Structure 1
Amino acid sequence: MPSRDEIFEKVRETLCDALGVDDDEVKESSTLFGDLGAESIDILDILFRLEKAFGIKIPRSELLPENVTAADPNFVANGVLTPAGVAELKAKMPHADIDSFAKDPKVEKLTDLLTVKMIVNFLESKLS
Structure 2
Amino acid sequence: MAVFPTVQKTMADALGCDEEDIELDVSLIEGLDAESIDFLDMVFRLERAFKVKVPRGKIIEDVRGDMPVEEFEQNGVLTEKGLIRLKEYLSEIPDDRFSSPMRVDQIARLYTPETFCKMIIRAQRAAAR
Deviation (angstroms), 1:28: 0.6
Q: Decide whether aligned partners of structure 1 residues 28 and 74 sit closer, same or farther in structure 2, where only a CA change above 3 A counts.
A: closer
Q: Which has the higher contact order (CA 8 A, sep 6+)?
A: 2
Deviation (angstroms), 1:126: 1.9
In the other structure, the counterpart of 1:75 is 73
Residue 126 of structure 1 pairs with residue 105 of structure 2: no
**Aligned residues between the structures:** 117
**C-alpha distance in 1, partners of 2:72/2:55?**
26
Alignment of 1:1-128 (within 5 A): 2=1, 6-65=2-61, 75-76=73-74, 81-87=78-84, 89=86, 94=89, 96-97=90-91, 100=95, 104-105=99-100, 106-107=102-103, 109-128=106-125
Gaps of 5+ in 2: 65-69
**C-alpha distance in 2, partners of 1:123/1:90?**
19
Identity of aligned residues (%): 31
Structure 2 length normalisation: TM-score?
Answer: 0.71
Question: Could you say what secondary structure the match of 2:7 adopts?
Answer: helix
Question: Could you say what secondary structure the match of 2:57 adopts?
Answer: helix
Question: Could you say what secondary structure the match of 1:60 adopts?
Answer: coil
User: Which string of whole-angstrom CA distances, capped at 9 and with x for unpartnered residues, describes residues 37-75 of structure 1?
Assistant: 11011111111100100011111121354xx8xxx6972
CA-atom RMSD in angstroms:
3.2
AA partner of residue 3 (structure 2): I
Residues 47 and 54 in structure 2, CA contact (< 8 A), matched pair in contact too = yes
AA partner of residue 61 (structure 1): G
Question: Could you say what secondary structure the match of 2:32 adopts?
Answer: coil
Which of the pair is proportionally richer in helix? Answer: 2
Q: Decide whether aligned partners of structure 1 residues 57 and 84 sit closer, same or farther in structure 2, where only a CA change above 3 A counts.
A: same
Deviation (angstroms), 1:34: 0.8
Gaps of 5+ in 1: none
AA partner of residue 41 (structure 2): D
Question: Could you say what secondary structure the match of 2:34 adopts?
Answer: coil
